[in-house]
Structures are given as C-alpha cells and as structure tokens.
Structure 1
Amino acid sequence: MNLDIQAYNNSQSAEDKLICYILAEQINLQLPEAENKIWHAHPVWFLEENPIVGYSKQKKGIRLLFWSGKSFEETKLNVLGTKFQDASIFYNSVNEIDITDLKTWLQKAQEIQWDYKNIVKRKGILERLK
C-alpha cells in the first residue's frame, strides 16, 4: 500500500481505520493498474491520470466517492450535485460495506469514465471517455 495512504488510514479513529483499510484493499485488488496517491488531502486512485475512486473522512462518516458514479445508475450511491458525474456512499461501520456492491462499482468505474483530467482545459465541461 502507498505509504501516504497508509499514514492517512492510520490517522483515523479505530472503526474508521478499519473501513479505510478494507476500502483500500478492495480498490487495490480490483484496480491493480491504478495509480494511487493522496490528492486534495485524501486517498484517490487514477486510471491514465483520471480520478476514478477515493475516500475521505467527513462528518457523516467515511465517504467513498466515484468520480463517474452518477452514470453507474446504482441506487445505493448518492448523487449530491447536478454539475458533475460523481456519486458516493458513506460508511460508519465495517459491517455496512457490501463487498459484492463494492466490486460491482469498481468494475463500473473502469468501464464508465468521464474526463476529469481535462476539466480545467475544457472550462468545467465534462466529456465521457468510456
């Protein structure tokens, strides 16, 4: 595991640390070719420099975010805004993590991608890559 991500996970409370480790482990298993690093202060995985999935500690819990998740059309993923294609789910216990769902979402994250890498160049306009 990336040492910076490991340090991020270790900085969490006991339950949140377990959640983070399970998420990181599953993401690494399902997206072995993805680059991962701390980006904007939280762990993020990239395919061809395009952000795909990440997680962060927020007031509501550990938020697992898929940058193109709105297009997955998964009812368990919450779509908060209308401008971008992100969707997420919050976890407060490891018991809430459904590994089958997580694997499905990570598969969709590879198959369905919006071009966040070039969003600044396109002045906020997203284009679908896959």
Structure 2
Amino acid sequence: MKPEIQTYNLSQTETHLKICDLLANELSHGLPEAENKIWHAHPVWFLDGNPVAGYSIQKRGVRLMFWSGKDFNESALNVEGEKFKDASIFYNEWEEVNLEDLQRWLEKARDIQWDYKNLVKRKGQLERLK
C-alpha cells in the first residue's frame, strides 16, 4: 500500500480504518496493473490513466465506487451517480464486504470502462473504451 493511502486510512475511525485497509488490499490485489494514488482527496485506482475504482468516507459510511459501475449490472452497486456511469456501495463494518462480489466487480472494472481520462477534452461527453 502506498504511504499516502496508508496515511489516508490511518486518519479514519477504527471501524472505517479496517474497511479502508481491506478495500485497499483487495483493490491492489484485484487490479495489480493499476496505478493507485490519492486523487481528489481519496484513494483511487487507475488503468492507463483512467479512474476505475476508489473509496471515500461519507456520512453513510465508506463508499466503494466504480467509475463505470452502472454498466456492471450488479444489484448490490445500487447507489448510482446521476450524471455519469458510476455506481457504489456503502460499508459500515468490514464484515459487510463480500469478497466474492468485490473480486467480480474488479474483473468488470477492468473489462467495462468509460473514458473519464478525456472527459474535459471531450467537453463532458463520455465514450466507452471497453
């Protein structure tokens, strides 16, 4: 885990720390080719410069977000963005994280991608990459 992500995780409550550490380890393991860094103040994993997955702390808990998650057709990823193709799930205890689901979502994150990297260049228009 990169030091800046570890610092982010360590700044959370004990309950959220466990969830964040679990997610960071699973995202790194499930997307070994991905670059990860703090982006817009929270940990994000990128494939070829395109954000695919990340997590953040919100009032509802730890939000695991997939940038192209709407197209995963996964009922558990039921918090969908209104403007783009993102979908999320919230966790409040580490035991809520279903590792089998998470591994499947990570495979889909690799296979189903919208081009967020060039969103500004395309003036807010998303194009499907895969």
TM-score bracket for the superposition, by shorter chain length: over 0.9
Normalised by the size of structure 2, how large is the TM-score?
Answer: 0.98
Deviation of the 1:14 alpha carbon: 0.4
Distance in 2, matches of 1:69 and 1:34, equals 17
4+ residue runs of structure 1 moved beyond 2 angstroms?
79-83
Once the two structures are superposed, residues 95-122 of structure 1 have per-residue CA deviations (whole angstroms, 9 ceiling, x without a partner) of 1100000000000000000000000000
TM-aligned CA deviation for residue 79 of structure 1: 3.9
What one-letter code is carried by the residue in structure 2 that aligns with 1:4? E
Task: Provide the residue aligned with 2:57 in structure 1.
Answer: 57
Partner of 1:24: 24
Q: CA RMSD in A?
A: 0.7
Tell me how far apart the structure 2 counterparts of residues 63 and 81 of structure 1 sit (CA, whole Å).
12
SS in 1 for 2:33: coil
CA contact (8 A) 2:53 2:66 kept: yes
Q: TM-score, normalised on structure 1? A: 0.98
What is the aligned length? 130
Contact 1:61 1:92 in 2 (8 A): yes
Aligned match of 2:89: 89
3-state SS in 2 of match to 1:18: helix
Aligned 8 A contact 1:30 1:106 in 2: yes
Separation in structure 2 between the aligned mates of residue 58 and residue 30 of structure 1, nearest angstrom: 24
Aligned-partner Cα distance in 2 for 1:54–1:110: 13
Q: What letter matches 1:111 in structure 2? A: D
Aligned to 1:47: 47
